[in-house]
Structure 1
Amino acid sequence: MDYRDWVMLQVLNEYKNITKTAEKLFISQPALSNRLKQIEKEFGTKIVVRGRNGIQFTPEGEYLAKNADKVISLHKHIKENIMNMNQNVTGTLRIASSNVFTRYKLPAVLKRFQKIFPNIEFQITTGLSRDIFQLIYNHEVHIGFVRGDYNWSDEKDLLFQETLCVASKEAFTLKDLPVLPRVDYTTDILLKIAIDNWWRNTFHKPPLIKMEVDQVDIAKDMVISGLGYAVLPSMILNGIDNLHKANITDENGLPIIRETWMYYSAESLELNTVKAFVEFVREFDFEENNA
């Protein structure tokens, strides 16, 4: 088996379908089927069986498929170390970034960094911060940009802070919020806890949630359209002047803050690409580069 065979098994394990796997790998179905037969010949056993709903792995096939992730990860690790030996800042940087950071900050960061280090390639994964934290925790990426401070015991840098605020198309007072329509949205657990705690400490009745959406940017758009108010991070409201806004505060009257962090491991700094990127981001002026 070679590296491409392990990738094929990894993708096949994901899709459980010959057609979709071939499309994903940009090879023909006959070529894929032939390669499976060669693997079965090499190990002297069946590894897949075809059914009406796709393919299924035999126990031997499952064992190979489960080890595909390990082999591919080891291959990446070896390749990175070999490329690192020549002291050039080159290779692939694997980054996981929260959805909001990706949209409002990451493009400017990557654009400036690539001007300095044009030989670096990027693999970007996005999602909610809890998912990003899991990726960096499992060492599946080099860098993680997360919103909120998770229990990360390795290296991290605080990049910037922002306030949380109530935003509405219509004028409002905070005391009237319990009877006003609210737009709620799916977000990471730390932000949800912060907003829920603020509400419980401020009001004695639940919010009047009239709409629930799956992304904070959609909630922002609904607010702009006058469909209700939402509690939003101030960063996504930069440049929007036709909204009424009010920061939310804790029991001491201090603004409730949303933090953005860069997580990475001390071990990963041995790679020239990671070290160069971390040092660059530390010096990046996020205030100057507001969305």
Structure 2
Amino acid sequence: MNERDWEILHTLYLHKSITKVGEVLYISQPTLTKRIKKIEKDLGIQIVFRGNKGVQFTQEGEFVAKKAELLLQTFKNVREDALNINDFHRGTLRLAVSNFYSKYKLPPLLKDFKDKYPEVDFYIETGYSRNVFQSVYNKNTHTGFLRGEYHWPGEKHLLFEEELCVFSMQDLDLQDLPQIPRINYKTDQLYKQMVDNWWTEHYKSPPYYSMSVDQGDTCKEMVKNGLGYAIMPSEFFSEHESVVRIPLFNNNNEPLTQKTWMCYYSESLKLQVVQTFINFVKSRQ
């Protein structure tokens, strides 16, 4: 089997239609049908059968089709990395970036890098830091930008550190927090655990959650409109925004902080374009 065969399987799994696959890949239906039968013979399994709703995948076919997507990405990555080995100003950088960093920090960083190296392209995944960690750990991406203390086995570089603060539009006393409406937002488990631990150190009663939202930005806007307080990393609010900001401390009177890291494997530095990018990021601090 070659790369084209895996492409056929992946495309067929997406569209569930021989006709559609033929249109997408510019292959005649008889040729495509013959190719699929050969793939089945090579693998020793039945991959598909025709049902009332078109092409249906067998259980074995589902497994192979899902592997096809991973293999196609691997083929793509190998080609890109082979081109990147000796060229520091041309190639494709694959980045995994936390939601916060991708919105507030990454765009100006990439703009400045592209101004200097216009022939470098980017493939960017965004998500929670746990997903960023997984992507770089599995070597799907060259470099990750994530928040929190993950057990990273490779190289990492501290980008910045934020205080965790209570934000509110009204003056408040930390002792009264359990009675004051709090706005909660979906975030990484490590961060949530840190905040929950701080809470149990200081209070016997649970928070009074008046609202739950899916993103930090939404939470910030709710706070700015006086709908409650929130516990958030300090970078969400600029120093110029008119909001009550109370830094949090643990029982040892140490500030509660969260670090943002750039993570990568040292072997990635063999790719000149990756090394150039990492050095560029470090030089901006």
Instruction: Return the TM-score normalized by structure 2.
Output: 0.88
* Identity score, percent: 41
* AA partner of residue 253 (structure 1): N
Q: Is the Cα contact below 8 Å between 1:16 and 1:54 reproduced in 2?
A: no
Aligned-residue offset at 1:241: 1.8
Stretches of structure 2 lacking an aligned partner (at least 5 in a row): none
Q: Within 1, Cα distance between the matches of 2:158 and 2:89?
A: 24
Aligned partner of 2:237 in structure 1 is 237
Aligned partner of 2:246 in structure 1 is 246
* AA partner of residue 273 (structure 2): T
Q: Within 1, Cα distance between the matches of 2:239 and 2:51?
A: 55
**Which stretch has the larger CA shift, 81-90 or 129-138?**
81-90
Q: Secondary structure at the match of 1:109?
A: helix
Aligned-residue offset at 1:47: 3.2
Stretches of structure 1 lacking an aligned partner (at least 5 in a row): 286-291
Aligned-residue offset at 1:202: 1.1
Q: How does 1:213-232 map to 2 (within 5 A)?
A: 213-232=213-232
Q: State yes or no: 1:43 paired with 2:49.
A: no
Q: State yes or no: 1:57 paired with 2:53.
A: no
Aligned-residue offset at 1:41: 4.3
What is the total number of aligned residue pairs between the two structures? 280
Q: How does 1:147-162 map to 2 (within 5 A)?
A: 147-162=147-162
Q: Secondary structure at the match of 2:235?
A: helix
Q: Within 1, Cα distance between the matches of 2:55 and 2:74?
A: 27
Q: Within 1, Cα distance between the matches of 2:141 and 2:37?
A: 35
Deviations 1:65-100 (A, max 9, x none): 244245324423431343135434311111110101
Q: Is the Cα contact below 8 Å between 2:3 and 2:72 reproduced in 1?
A: yes
Deviations 1:12-46 (A, max 9, x none): 44x46449x96xx9x84695783742421443656
Aligned partner of 2:184 in structure 1 is 184
Q: Within 2, Cα distance between the matches of 1:81 and 1:222?
A: 44
Aligned partner of 1:137 in structure 2 is 137
Q: Is the Cα contact below 8 Å between 1:18 and 1:32 reproduced in 2?
A: no
Instruction: Return the TM-score normalized by structure 1.
Output: 0.86
* AA partner of residue 39 (structure 2): F
Alpha carbons of structure 1 residues 5 and 188: separation in structure 2 relative to 1, 3 Å:
same
Aligned-residue offset at 1:273: 1.4
Alpha carbons of structure 1 residues 91 and 7: separation in structure 2 relative to 1, 3 Å:
farther
Aligned CA RMSD, in angstroms, stands at 2.7
